[in-house]
Amino acid sequence: MIALLPLPDGGDASSNGVPVPSSTSNTAPASESSASHATTATTATPVAETAVSHDPLEYVSVSRLKSFLTCRLKFYFEKVLALPRPVSPSLHFGKAVHEGLQHFNKARWRDGDFSETAVLAAFNRAFANPDDGQPVEWTDDDERAELQAKGEALLRAFLESNLHLPADIGSKPLGVEVKLSAELPGLSLPLLGVIDLVKADRTPVDYKTIAQTPNLENETWQHELQLTAYTLLIEDATGETCPGNELVFLVKTKTPKVIRQSFPAPTQIQRDRFARLVDIYANGVELEHYYPASGQHCAWCPFRKECSQWTGGSVS
């Protein structure tokens, strides 16, 4: 059995106090580009947090797979050409809230400070410093201040929710922000995934920041690929089954809400479906079958200008 090895910020796999299995290096691979050759057929390996590779056949992730299945041309612009896209206020907001949640879980894991003050400080640092220094397209200063206040209120609601009663706090996570790569039997490409939280019983947890109260039945369908991928990676890394999955929705309504939804482990049909969709992805990318797929997602696509110029074939 191989233990999960969540990576501390900037650290290697051996620096977190968890014994490193003999089948992995004491230092995680230097980049995601190592993912396709740093693992054995049945071993998931922690991967260092670095820049994303633009080779779409080097590995498959849920982000790549969902982008490809939604619109192949958007996938081409975003994941292959890696065209720059503006940072929307909602995207920046979600990332900053995620930083607050990540601080909370890492502090629990490391016996650190997971007080409200510490969590809000992590959120505000991230909110003040966008990724890579890219400017956020704020409408005005009022929008910025309003979203910052909403983020603080949302995190307070999370900390006050029944998701973290004392009994739960006493149970340390197995891993936080765990990035795993594995070459799995039945998948035509290596699988890469980043899991927000792995609970002590190996349940993967993913946080979703949303604007409206979710339709839980629809959310189950929408996130099937993600939950299946996380289960496959954790089971491969630990050699044990996952009891299920969890999504935690942080709803930024006027009165913030936190909703936890538990799901059973993926069925064999869901696992087989995932494998077939990876095959479709691999074949389509190898043949460079990129074309637009019109739908409601076009309304918020950042590549509408580039799409409007497409007449077939590659776009440089």
* pLDDT of 244 strictly over 70: yes
Q: pLDDT tens digits, residue range 152-209?
A: 999 999 999 877 654 555 578 899 999 999 999 999 999 999 999 999 999 999 999 9
Residue 21 lies in a domain: no
Mean pLDDT for 16-32 is: 30
Question: Is the domain of 146 the same as that of 249?
Answer: no
Structural domain of residue 204, as residue ranges? Answer: 35-84+172-283
* pLDDT of 21 strictly over 60: no
Number of domains making up the chain: 2
Question: Is the domain of 262 the same as that of 160?
Answer: no
Question: Is the domain of 76 the same as that of 210?
Answer: yes
Q: Which of 169, 193, 220 is the last residue of a domain?
A: 169
Question: Is the domain of 245 the same as that of 187?
Answer: yes
Question: Is the domain of 176 the same as that of 165?
Answer: no
* pLDDT of 22 strictly over 70: no
Residue 79 lies in a domain: yes
Question: Is the domain of 54 the same as that of 185?
Answer: yes
Question: Is the domain of 124 the same as that of 232?
Answer: no
Residue 98 lies in a domain: yes
Q: Which of 116, 146, 169 is the last residue of a domain?
A: 169
Q: Which of 169, 185, 215 is the last residue of a domain?
A: 169
What pLDDT score does 49 carry? 35
What pLDDT score does 172 carry? 83
Q: How far apart are CA 100 and CA 191, in angstroms?
A: 27
Residue 289 lies in a domain: no
Question: Is the domain of 112 the same as that of 203?
Answer: no
Question: Is the domain of 256 the same as that of 198?
Answer: yes
Mean pLDDT for 276-289 is: 97
Question: Is the domain of 164 the same as that of 109?
Answer: yes
Q: pLDDT tens digits, residue range 68-121?
A: 999 999 999 999 999 988 888 999 999 999 999 999 999 988 989 999 999 999
Question: Is the domain of 68 the same as that of 212?
Answer: yes
Q: pLDDT tens digits, residue range 202-230?
A: 999 999 999 999 888 888 889 999 999 99
Cβ burial of 312 (10 Å; 0-12, 13-18, 19+) is: exposed
Residue 299 lies in a domain: no
Q: pLDDT tens digits, residue range 294-313?
A: 999 999 899 999 999 999 87
Question: Is the domain of 76 the same as that of 208?
Answer: yes
Residue 15 lies in a domain: no
Q: pLDDT tens digits, residue range 27-66?
A: 233 333 333 333 333 334 333 333 455 799 999 999 999 9
What pLDDT score does 86 carry? 82
Residue 27 lies in a domain: no
Residue 183 lies in a domain: yes
